[in-house]
Amino acid sequence: MQVITQVNTLRETMQALRCSGKSIGFVPTMGALHEGHLQLLRASVKDNDITVCSIFVNPTQFNNAEDFKLYPRTLEEDIVQLQTTGCDYLFAPTPDDVYPQHTMLQFSFGKLEQVMEGEHRPGHFNGVATIVGKLFHMVQPHKAYFGQKDLQQVAIVRQLIFGLGFNVELVCHPTVREANGLAMSSRNKRLNKEQLVTAVSLYEALQLAKSQLKYKSQESIKEAVADYLRQKPEVTLEYFEIANPLTLQPIESIADAREVALCIAAHVGPVRLIDNLVVNLSEV
């Protein structure tokens, strides 16, 4: 695997590969890799001639300076893991490489960025769109791989691709979980042993909501989730929403929906975690 740190080197390398007819798969990450990332990388290796992974903790998508400062950075460990997947190139730039000057660019995703993560993390999706757009231009991939755990981010990237006409296929893979159901996340590295056990309550709350979809109102389900999490030590619920899985907008009626997305965000100790389940109501 070749490690590239300079934008110009990446551009030249990718352009040569495309000109030679190679298909390029791309997995953008912020590092602190886990099995969820590795599954995306293995899928890319299987689907494409060349696989590129980026590791870049993007400052423009953090609306909390402390969160940015404490985000896990484990580059040496990540490189070892990448080499086991068959990844061909790692792009690991510095912030000055990616942002040589302050960006004035502003994206608007309408109602999609006004709910859930967009509502609670102002400016977050502008930063996501900025870095994903930059990386798409640098890598010029044929396929880009994202995980369902960041469901709203996937929807934002889908709109970015459509709105700017990127010639790239978005591939979304299911959330990868620990044996107890906890969604794998780089932020889990910041949890101690007790908090890791407690964090499973987010998945348990989603399962509780799923079990009530056919016979309880949205309001009752939301109350049940909130009541359940109040009993858990160190857990502070930020939001729980029942939404359309494509638009992420609140649904008017569960009875009239084919699928719903159950989306949750909560703090476990000092660490903010998100999770979701997309539920086909005919299978409940």
CATH classification of the domain holding 223: 3.30.1300.10
Tens digit of each residue's pLDDT (9 = 90 or more) over 130-149: 999 999 999 999 999 999 99
Is 195 in the same domain as 239? yes
237: Cα separation from own chain's centroid: 19
The yes-or-no answer on residue 120 being catalytic is no
Q: What per-residue confidence (pLDDT) applies to 283?
A: 87
pLDDT of residue 279: 98
Domain-located, residue 281: no
Same domain, residue pair 6 and 128: yes
pTM listed for this prediction: 0.96
- Same domain for 133 and 222, yes or no, is no
pLDDT in the model for residue 185: 98
- Of these residues, 34, 37, 102, 173, which one is catalytic? 37
Q: Tell me which residue range forms the domain holding 118.
A: 2-173
Task: Name the one residue in this structure whose structure tokens are 């989306």.
Answer: 263
Among residues of the chain, what percentage have pLDDT more than 90? 96
**pLDDT tens digits for range 55-106:** 999 999 998 999 999 999 999 999 999 999 999 999 999 999 999 998 888 9
Q: What is the mean pLDDT of residues 231-236?
A: 96
Closest to 249 measured CA to CA, from 130, 120, 155: 155
